[in-house]
Structure 1
Amino acid sequence: MPTVVKCPTCQADVIWSEQSPNRPFCSKRCQLIDLGEWSFENNKISTAITSNTQMDAQDQQDMLEDIEAMLAKSEDSFFKE
């Protein structure tokens, strides 16, 4: 028996298979409505920021330096100044 899920936009039943190319949405319309909600920031993924997940200024600087070093090693001229 195929798995059936609810469309996140309209709550219609959607069969979870290749027959439903817009899954988990029931249609392209519902998929675009959902995308619009995200683009207007009506939907968002948020978590509480705790002291364990906050980076101090030194950690941020170290991370930026690591990224710059990786980009400098890149063969792609796009990353070269």
Structure 2
Amino acid sequence: MTTPTKPRRVRCPACGGSSEYGEANPWRPFCCERCKNHDFGAWASEHYRVADPAAPGSHADDGAEAPPQH
């Protein structure tokens, strides 16, 4: 017989409040639906971005060295 473990408490990534990280919290790791939706909205509006080192205008993949900056 296994002993049920106590759900872990984590910091909500949106508001910084305490959040239960377990099956009882459908919004985990967020503390509530509002925080989850706020974070989703930030992603949808491109507030969070991942840099593309091979973006047009960069010299990352053309084999040439970038000219020195003065």
User: Of the two structures, which has the highest relative contact order with CA contacts closer than 8 Å and spacing of 6 or more?
Assistant: 2
Aligned length: 51
Letter in 2 for 1:6: R
| Deviating 4+ runs (over 3 angstroms) | 47-51
Superposed CA RMSD in Å reads 1.6
| Match in the other structure for 2:64 | none
The share of aligned pairs that are identical, in percent, is: 33
TM-superposition CA deviations, 1:8-38 (whole Å, max 9, x none):
1101111110111100111111111001101
TM-score by length of 2: 0.61
2:7 counterpart of 1:2: yes
User: Which of 7, 25, 28 is equivalent to 1:23?
Assistant: 28
TM-superposition CA deviations, 1:37-67 (whole Å, max 9, x none):
011111123353443xxxxxxxxxxxxxxxx
The structure where strand makes up a greater share of residues is 2
| Match in the other structure for 1:35 | 40
**What secondary structure, in the 3-state scheme, does the structure 1 residue paired with 2:37 have?**
helix
Letter in 1 for 2:49: K
What aligned pairs does 1:1-81 form with structure 2 within 5 A after superposition?
A: 1-46=6-51, 48-49=53-54, 50-51=60-61
What stretches of structure 1 of length at least 5 have no aligned partner? 52-81
TM-score by length of 1: 0.53
